[in-house]
Amino acid sequence: MLGLGAAAVVLGGAVHGAFERNSPLFGRPITRLPGHDRAVALTFDDGPNPDATPAILDALAARGVKATFFILGRHAERWPDLVRRVADEGHALGNHGYFHRKLHFKSPAYVRTDLQLGTRAIEQAAKMRPRLFRAPHGFRSPWVTPIARSLGQRTVGWSLGVWDSDRPGVEAIARRTVEGARPGSILLLHDGDGYDDAGDRMQTARAVPLIVDRLLTQGYRFDPVGGL
Ligand SMILES: [Zn+2]
C-alpha cells in the first residue's frame, strides 16, 4: 500500500511528466539532433497559415534551408495547398493533432482520434504519412507517446522556445533564437496560431531570414528533425 508520501511522489511524477515537455516519464521525446555537429533544426508549429507559411517557405527556399513543420490538422484541411507546398519543397512534416486541445487530461480515445484526424488531414493534403508528432504545448500523459508511436510517429519536443507567439517583435524573436541556439538545438517557432485560423504570425515570418542568416554566419547548418 502506498503511504501518503509515496502517493505524493507518484502524483508529483505524473504531473511533472505531463507539464515538462521533455520529461522521459511518459516516453522519451526527441529534444535535440543526434551527433555533435554545428547543426540546428528549425521547427514551426500550428500552421499552415495563409500569410506566414508562404513567407517562411520563400525565405527558407532562398537560402536552401530545410525545416520541420508540425501541421495542425484543422488548418491542413483549410489550406491543403500550403501543406503540399511544404512537402514539395523538401521540408519534414509532422503531426500536431487536429483540434489543438491540451492532451494531458484527455482520454486515450480522445488522443487517438485527435492524432488520427491530424494524420489523415496531412495525408490527404500532401499524399505522405507524417513520421513525427509534437503534442500541443508539449503536454503529454502516459498514453500520448505510445499512441503516436502506434501511428508510426516519433514524438518530438524542443530545446528552445522564444515565445514568438506572444509577438514580442521581429528583432526580439531573432535575437532570442540566435542567442539560445547551441549545436543540436531543436528551435521552436510558430508559423500558425493553434487557436485562430487567421492569427498573425508575420513577426515570426520576418524573423526567419534574420535567424537563418545570423546562424549561417556562425557556421551552423540546418537539418530537418529525423532526417528526411
Ligand atoms: Zn501548437
116-160 pLDDT, tens per residue?
A: 999 999 999 999 999 999 999 999 889 999 999 999 999 999 999
If phi over 0 gives left and psi between -120 and 50 gives alpha, with beta otherwise, what is residue 22?
Answer: alpha
For residue 4, the CA-to-ligand 1 centroid distance in Å is 36
Q: Binning pLDDT at 50, 70 and 90, where does residue 14 land?
A: low
Q: What's the pLDDT score for residue 18?
A: 62
Q: Binning pLDDT at 50, 70 and 90, where does residue 13 land?
A: low
For the chain, domain boundaries = 4-222
Pairing of β 132-133 and β 154-155: parallel
Residue 5 has pLDDT above 80, yes or no: no
Residue 9 has pLDDT above 60, yes or no: no
CATH architecture type of domain 4-222: Alpha-Beta Barrel (3.20)
For residue 139, the CA-to-ligand 1 centroid distance in Å is 10
Q: Binning pLDDT at 50, 70 and 90, where does residue 1 land?
A: very low
For residue 65, the CA-to-ligand 1 centroid distance in Å is 22
pLDDT, averaged across the chain: 92
Region 23-42: what's the mean pLDDT?
A: 89
Residue 3 has pLDDT above 70, yes or no: no
Residue 10 has pLDDT above 90, yes or no: no
Q: What's the pLDDT score for residue 72?
A: 98
Number of Cβ within a 10 Å radius of residue 127: 10
Instruction: Considering the candidates 190, 191, 193, 223, report the single residue annotated as catalytic.
Output: 190
Compute CA distances 90 → 69, 173, 221, 223, 228, whole Å.
11, 25, 16, 11, 8
Residue 8 has pLDDT above 60, yes or no: no
190 is catalytic: yes
Q: What's the grid cell of residue 40?
A: 540546428
For residue 104, the CA-to-ligand 1 centroid distance in Å is 14
What gap in Å lies between CA 8 and CA 2, rounded to an integer? 9
For residue 101, the CA-to-ligand 1 centroid distance in Å is 9
For residue 1, the CA-to-ligand 1 centroid distance in Å is 39
For CA atoms 176, 136, 134, 75, the dihedral sign is negative
37 is catalytic: no
Q: Binning pLDDT at 50, 70 and 90, where does residue 2 land?
A: very low
For residue 136, the CA-to-ligand 1 centroid distance in Å is 4
Global pTM reads 0.91
Compute CA distances 86 → 58, 69, 127, whole Å.
11, 8, 12
What gap in Å lies between CA 5 and CA 72, rounded to an integer? 40
For residue 96, the CA-to-ligand 1 centroid distance in Å is 7
